[in-house]
Chains A and B, each alone.
Chain A
Amino acid sequence: MAEPLLEVKNLTVHFPTDDGLVKAVDGVSFSLLPGETLGVVGESGSGKSVSFLTVMGLINAKQAVIEGQIIFQGQDLLTLPVDEMRNVRGEKISMIFQDPMTSLHPYYKTGDQIAEAIRVHQRVSKQEAHEQAVEMLRRVGIPRPDERADQYPHEFSGGMRQRAMIAMALSLNPDLLIADEPTTALDVTVQAQILDLLDRLKQEFNAAIVIVTHDLGVVAEHCDHIQVMYAGKIVEAGDRRDIYYGAHHPYTWGLLASIPRLDESDTKERLQPIRGLPPSLIFVPPGCAFHPRCPHVFDRCRTDVPELLPADGHHASRCHLSLSDKERIFQEEVMARS
């Protein structure tokens, strides 16, 4: 097997606040191969964004207590000096964010903002950087890129801005692109365009991609692997097929049941929400953090924290139910309904 591009080992990110310690990420481990696409799914406050902001070094030891290892191309990013981490950021790992409306600087021309990213990492003239920026805008499918480069972000539509963000993120040909809710703020038709664009660019640039989202439906077609996060922990991880055709965790079942489907003829049943609210990350429920909302809860769930156990090599889940129960409930309750 190839050397992993990114290996996160037992990462914890805790924020000290006046109300107590917020355990945003609590012991997360995973690895990512070069060129692979990973989908990270969870509700708001599940720790998915925080995990990857920490990988980027955008959350650092000044703001939070960080433990564990983030090994990227053989280097532990958490022990890297600030200056070297800055070289990794933007050049080797880049990131696009949820809201393209606010993620570009309103006072600078779009092309200049992309050129700036290039010039931080490469010794090129302003002119060359500008030409590269225009070329990147063209590659992400922005029409008349040379004119667009001289426009300000407010002259772009939401989808175009997200394309510009992607152009900026890919301008240095990074090995890893982290897309944090890249489509959440966009119209549904534009969402699909952006995801298709990411797919295409992944081939062209040969980069690994992480798509962080709260919507399992979004990552369905675009990810090789999926991991589901809840209350700062990974509760289920596996191949795309494992998750969609044989999910093992009640939380994942809840997410699957809450995807609206238009292809069904009998839409008698209402959309199934997951009852309850995500837990406080200061007072995480004892035992399995999901037990107060879980329809299959039993005594052990309230006291013992379940381990993330692999069922068959690659597919792992963090649940006390027996494998046969998981498979039975999935078939009876989730598949039957969807």
Chain B
Amino acid sequence: MGRYLIRRTLFMILVLFIVSLITFIIFVKLPASDPARRAVGKSTSPENVEAARHAFGLDKPLYVQYSRFAKGLIPWPGLFLNEDVYYSYANFVPVKEEIFSRLPVTIALAVGAAVLWTLVGIPIGIISAVRKGSVWDRSAMVFALIGVSAPVFWLAYLFLYIFWFKLGWAPPSGIPIGESVTQAVLSGRFILPWIVLSMTFAAFYARMVRGNLIETMSEDYIRTARAKGLSEKRVIYKHGLRAALTPVVTMFGLDLAVLLGGAFITETVFGLPGVGQYAVRSIFLNDFPAVMGVTLFAAFFIAVANLCVDVAYAFLDPRVRYT
């Protein structure tokens, strides 16, 4: 187990290195314009451009430029997203500060949606699998098809139109200045974003659970469970679900991690000041320190979640051994 963790951690570092390198190339080196000029704006003196170039370290050799960015990846208090590089030139706020102040919104959105899609998707999948071919199953799968196909931005505007504009049941998008995340959650500002964000996932999970469970129920060990004289309920819920839900747990960990790195579309449409919204805004403003910061932050999250999920798998499936 110890050796496995060390190996996986080394591998994780490699992945993050590659991600950071690609991000650096895409956002700093590939654009045709001079990054220093982008930073200071169009109407400025050559001295200012030179000063910016020096401030970003762009006058140094390529490997120094990159390593200045890469240093910000190391999860150490003084180094992680260090302010001398990861400093937004759009609003002159350190990227780290911006991300951490926005993180509660993203967490509230992602966790709430995750709870919702788990509570909706998994039971629907189970019912569909158990009553395969019934009216329940058919309607659930129609729902799933719609949920998987409907684009989030379209759903978001549709829901806002119906439930806020027409019916007035839900508050409008956005969080007023001065309102804390807790207050926003309590006043229902997250309800529509949760529903919209969880829709696709719920549909996807329903289909996955249904498929897994149907497949599991034809396994030999399910026949053995029936042959023991167990009730059908016990066969399904103890023997069937145990095997069918294990891959779902893996999926869940990764999906949640991806969302914690920012639910870009939902945050943007509903005007939620989360990490995803920051990323989208920074891309539009060509604010490359911010873009790199958010990308590396999200990549870090996903890589760590990946490791956690793989370790958790050992506890869920006794056949998995770490060597």
| Chain A positions near chain B (C-beta within 8 angstroms) | 56, 58, 86-91, 94-95, 97, 99, 102-108, 116-117, 120-121, 152, 154, 165, 168-169
Q: Could you tell me the distance between the alpha carbons of A107 and B241 in the complex, rounded to whole angstroms?
A: 11
List the B side residues contacting A121 at CB < 8 Å. Answer: 229
Does A103 lie within 8 Å of B317, measured CB to CB? no
B interface, over-half SS: helix
CB nearest to B220 among chain A residues: A102
Q: Apart from A90-B227, A103-B221, A117-B229, what 5 extra A-B contacts exist at CB < 8 Å?
A: A58-B227, A89-B228, A103-B224, A105-B242, A107-B242
* B42, chain A: closest CB distance, angstroms: 63
Listed from nearest, the 10 A-B pairs whose CB atoms lie closest are A90-B229, A102-B220, A117-B228, A105-B221, A89-B229, A152-B318, A90-B228, A103-B220, A95-B227, A86-B229
User: How far apart sit A94 and B317, CA to CA, in the bound complex (Å)?
Assistant: 28
In the complex, are the beta carbons of B224 and A165 less than 8 A apart?
yes
A87 / chain B contacts, CB cutoff of 8 Å: 229
- Closest A residue to B240 by CB, please name it: A105
Q: Are B224's CB and A105's CB within 8 A?
A: yes
CB contacts (< 8 Å) of B226 on chain A: these are: 58, 89
Chain B residues with CB under 8 Å of A86's CB are 229-231
Closest to A99 in B: B220
Residues of B268-323 whose CB lies within 8 A of A:
316-319
> Which chain B positions have C-beta within 8 A of A165?
224
Contact status B319-A120, CB under 8 Å: no
Residues of B within 8 A of A103 (CB): 220-221, 223-224
Asked whether B219 is an interface residue with its Cβ less than 8 Å from the other chain, the reply is yes
Tell me the minimal C-beta distance from A18 to chain B in angstroms.
Answer: 13
18 contacts between A and B (CB under 8 A): A86-B230, A89-B226, A90-B229, A90-B230, A94-B227, A94-B228, A95-B227, A99-B220, A102-B219, A103-B224, A104-B221, A105-B243, A106-B243, A106-B319, A107-B316, A116-B228, A116-B230, A168-B228
Complex interface residues of chain B between 7 and 31 (CB less than 8 A to chain A):
none
Determine the chain A residues whose CB is within 8 A of the CB of B318 once the complex forms: 106-107, 152, 154
Residues of chain B within 8 A (CB-CB) of A104 are: 221, 224
Question: CB of B103 within 8 A of chain A?
Answer: no
Is B239 in the interface zone, CB < 8 Å from A? yes
CA distance A108 to B224 in the complex (A): 13
B221→A89 contact, CB < 8 A: no
Q: Which residues of A contact B246 (CB under 8 A)?
A: 107
**B225 lies within 8 A of chain A by Cβ:** yes
Among B227, B231, B239, point to the contact of A105 (Cβ < 8 A): B239
Q: Bound complex: CA of A152 vs CA of B316, how far in Å?
A: 13
B234 to A, closest residue via Cβ: A120
Q: Taking CB as reference atom, which chain A residue is nearest B230?
A: A120
- Which residue on chain A has the smallest CB distance to residue B223? A58
- A97-B220, A102-B220, A154-B318 are known contacts. Are A107 and B227 too (CB-CB below 8 A)? no
Chain B, residues 144-174, CB within 8 Å of chain A (1/0): the string is 0000000000000000000000000000000
A279 → chain B, closest Cβ, in Å? 26
Q: Which residues of A contact B242 (CB under 8 A)?
A: 105, 107-108
Contacts of B239 on A, CB cut-off 8 Å? 105
Most buried by A among B219, B221, B231: B221
A57 vs B221: C-alpha distance in the bound complex, in angstroms? 16
> In the complex, A116→B230 CA distance in Å?
9
Q: How far is the CA of A157 from the CA of B173 in the complex (A)?
A: 61
- Minimal beta-carbon separation of A174 from chain B (angstroms): 10
Residues of A within 8 A of B219 (CB): 102
Assembled-state Cα–Cα distance A56/B226 (Å): 9
* Bound-complex Cα distance A203 to B231 (A): 31
A106 surroundings in chain B (CB, below 8 A) = 221, 243, 317-319
CB distance from A290 to the nearest CB of B (A): 30
Contacts of A102 in B (CB 8 A): 219-221
CB neighbours (8 Å) of A90 from chain B are 227-230
Expressed in whole angstroms, the Cα–Cα distance for A120 and B239 within the complex equals: 14
Complex Cα distance, B242 from A103, in Å, reads 15
What chain A residues lie within 8 Å of B223 (beta carbons)? 58, 97, 103
CB-based contact A56/B227 at 8 Å = yes
A152 (CB) vs chain B CBs: closest residue = B318
A62 to chain B, nearest CB (A): 11
**Binary flags per residue of B222-262, CB closer than 8 Å to A gives 1, else 0:** 01111111110000000100110010000000000000000
* B221 closest partner in A (C-beta): A105
Complex: A338 Cα to B318 Cα, angstroms: 49
Distance of A181 Cα from B127 Cα, bound (Å): 34
Residue picked from B226, B243, B317, most chain A C-beta under 10 Å? B226
Point out which of B228, B243, B246 has the most chain A C-beta atoms below 10 A from its C-beta. Answer: B228
- What's the least CB distance linking B227 to chain A, in Å? 5
Docked Cα-Cα span, A154 to B242, in Å, equals 16
Residues of A within 8 A of B230 (CB): 86, 90, 116, 120
In the bound complex, CA of A103 to CA of B228 (Å): 12
Shortest C-beta distance, B240 to chain A (Å), equals 10
Within the assembled complex, what's the spacing in Å between the Cα atoms of A103 and B318? 16
Contacts of A58 in B (CB 8 A): 223, 226-227
Instruction: Give complex CA distance A106, B246 in Å.
Output: 12
Quick one: which of B226, B227, B230, B231 has the most chain A CB within 10 A?
A: B227
Residues from chain B with a CB closer than 8 A to the CB of A117 are 228-229
- Chain A nearest CB from B318 CB (Å) reads 4
Give CA–CA (A97, B220) in the complex, Å: 8
**In whole angstroms, how far apart are the Cα atoms of A13 and B267 in the complex?**
58
Contact A152 B319 (CB under 8 A): yes
Complex: A169 Cα to B223 Cα, angstroms: 13
How far, in whole Å, are A84 and B66 apart by their CA atoms in the complex? Answer: 73
Cα A70 to Cα B168 with chains together (Å)? 65
- Please report the C-alpha to C-alpha distance between residue A87 and residue B76 in the assembled complex, in whole angstroms: 62
Give min CB distance, B315 to chain A, whole Å.
Answer: 11
Query: Whole-angstrom distance from the CB of B129 to the nearest CB of chain A?
Result: 15
Q: Which residues of B lie under 8 Å from residue A91 when comparing CB positions?
A: 229
